[in-house]
Amino acid sequence: MHATTPVPYRVLARRRETADTVTLDLVPAAGPLRPFRPGQYAMLYAFGTGEIPASVSGISGDTLGHTVRAVGKVSEALCRAERGDWIGARGPYGTVWQTPPAGSDVLIVSGGIGLAPLRPLIEEVLDRAKEFGTISVLAGYRNPGEQLFLADLPRWRSRAHVHVTVDHPEPGWPGATGLVTGLLDSAGYRPDRCAAYLCGPEVMMRATARDLLRRGVPADRIRASLERNMRCATAWCGHCQLGPVLVCRDGPVFGWDHAEGLLSTPER
């Protein structure tokens, strides 16, 4: 079988996260794809419609979790999939979230659906929490209805500092209000020993990285996922080119010492 041929996966479970976002747990129909690592992505194929890149949001043996927001024909078709339906998958593709060095304080910052690619890293870090210092997860959303993985939060909060903020609170909202960078003061971390991971809108990642640099976090200890315009996953189509790199092949995870310059490249 050619490496770009999707293999069949079955929908084991479907969880609605928000009004337009679902998480699908997929199990292989025959042989699984090669093991995925946090930060990588698959090309998911909705039969008869097309395929899109989707970061892995859960890894449990051969079971893959993918969190998909309905923003186009293919993603809408994937979001309509029900338990027992078939989806094609190929991968894994892309670079990984490098595991923090032992003894590091871990700071994970997301904006919107950017929490999905970070979720496997959060699970891995929490499973090995004794190896690290303070672990903080900061999540920002436009409104409370956009929150993801609500079922995970109590477990995460038992082993990490988890803070959520929204731009537009609703009556009764108990959390913080404002940009996710406003939570950086609430996270306990030593700048020189911090390993930071960012995923979300580019403006949010730029602002967060700029703030962390100002606080003394070295650029090479900040990592960001740039998921701009990926389409083929094989570096053939060129849609995801950012300066000298093709994000689908060379990314999507980059160190900020590299990513900062790439983000100055205008979108095509």
Instruction: State yes or no: 194 annotated in a binding site.
Output: no
Instruction: State yes or no: 237 annotated in a binding site.
Output: yes
Contacts of 236 (CB under 8 A, 6+ apart): none
Instruction: State yes or no: 79 annotated in a binding site.
Output: no
What residues are designated binding site for [2Fe-2S] cluster? 232, 237, 240, 248
What residues are designated binding site? 232, 237, 240, 248
